Amino acid sequence: MMVIPVVKLLHFGQVGSLLDKLLAVDTIIFVASAGLSYAAMRGVKSAILEKYADQFFMLGLFELALCAVLLAFEII
């Protein structure tokens, strides 16, 4: 979440707005992963929920890495 203020501080314009949106979606993905992980610990169908939690977590990591590359190399 620290990246969003840095993007606003550096004045990236339209690119900053896109990065803000990507990072907001990434936050939602990580929250969904955490919720699924908690449900897997508490629920009956824990294997299925755990699989989805892992997939959401990996998707979140991939998107976070993508945002880091876009920000570091100023690709967009």
pLDDT in tens, the chain (76 residues): 455 555 555 555 555 678 888 889 999 999 999 999 999 999 888 899 999 999 999 999 999 999 888 888 876 5
Spatial separation of the C-alpha atoms in residues 63 and 25, rounded to whole Å = 9
CA 26 to chain centre: 2
Q: Is 76 exposed, middle or buried (0-12, 13-18, 19+ CB in 10 A)?
A: middle
If DSSP codes are grouped into helix, strand and coil, which group holds residue 30?
helix
C-beta atoms surrounding 47 within 10 Å? 9
Amino acid letter, 33: S
